A = this chain, B = another copy of it.
Amino acid sequence: MSQQRHGSTSGGSDRANAVPAFPDLPEATIARLPEYLRALHNLGEGGADTISSEGLAAAAGVNSAKLRKDLSHLGSYGTRGVGYDIALLIEQIEYVLGLDQRRAVCLVGVGNLGHALAGYDGFASRGFKIVALFDADPSKVGERIHGLIVRHIDELPQVAVEETIAIGVIATPAGAAQAVADELVAAGVTSILNFAPCVLSVPANVDVRKVDLAIELQILSFHEHRKASLTALPGGRSATGAGNQEAVGS
């Protein structure tokens, strides 16, 4: 533990980085940190104090060497011969992910999916707070969903001033998504989670992540198809080839 290496002080950033707080975390590592975090919370609730890389890797569903390398990237707070201090590691990962500050999320589109997202516990319990719901449909404006009133999308700029919105979630039909994205960007939002099945065009400083439920099914469909076409084959190796747990996000 001792000092955090984020402090601008910490003399030796391996790279020639003048200031920025973070080492260059590989994107693949970043995508796994939340998974580790969830596993750590589970383990912590189970009463454990420390956990070995082997154990945590199993809980997170990854290879232990990969896990160790991932954690080493962010400074590594493990103890050889013992393992990782769960509470400390949670704190570290939450800091790196920026979860120590609860981020405000706004959700645009309270249709079928948006409605469900508005009430999804996982948001609140994992560092986020939905602060506003928007829709373009006047018949939906005013509706109360899980304690929040749906406002018209035109109010977005105003709300963005009142609350500092970190992340915008788009749950509209595909046709409306680009326009909504533009409005979010104009309102200062720099991170977007897009559930609409379309490609968004945004400025370079805005991050977009996409979740497309149908695509996930189609990928599974491919594997089904392939497996089906293999059943007609001589049994040879029994399919250990493909069974694995891919997490979305490629």
Residues of A at the B interface (CB closer than 8 Å) are 17-22, 25, 27-28, 30-31, 33-35, 37-39, 59-61, 96-99, 103, 105, 112-113, 115-117, 119-123, 125-128, 166-167, 182, 185-186, 190-194, 197-230, 232-235, 237-250
Partner of A240, one of B120, B185, B219: B185
For A39, give the chain B residue with the smallest CB separation. B199
Given contacts A120-B213, A205-B238, A224-B166, contact A229 B21 (CB under 8 A): yes
Q: Contact check, A98 vs B247: say whether CB atoms are below 8 A apart.
A: no
Q: Contact check, A166 vs B221: say whether CB atoms are below 8 A apart.
A: yes
> In the complex, how many angstroms separate the beta carbon of A70 from the nearest chain B beta carbon?
13
Partner of A204, one of B33, B127, B213, B239: B239
Provide the residues of chain B in CB contact with A191, threshold 8 Å: 220-221, 223-224
Give bound CA distance, A113 to B121, whole Å.
10
> In the complex, how many angstroms separate the beta carbon of A156 from the nearest chain B beta carbon?
15
> In the complex, how many angstroms separate the beta carbon of A26 from the nearest chain B beta carbon?
10
Q: Contact check, A209 vs B204: say whether CB atoms are below 8 A apart.
A: no
Q: Contact check, A245 vs B211: say whether CB atoms are below 8 A apart.
A: no
> In the complex, how many angstroms separate the beta carbon of A197 from the nearest chain B beta carbon?
6
Q: Contact check, A220 vs B116: say whether CB atoms are below 8 A apart.
A: no
For A243, give the chain B residue with the smallest CB separation. B204
Q: Contact check, B226 vs A21: say whether CB atoms are below 8 A apart.
A: yes
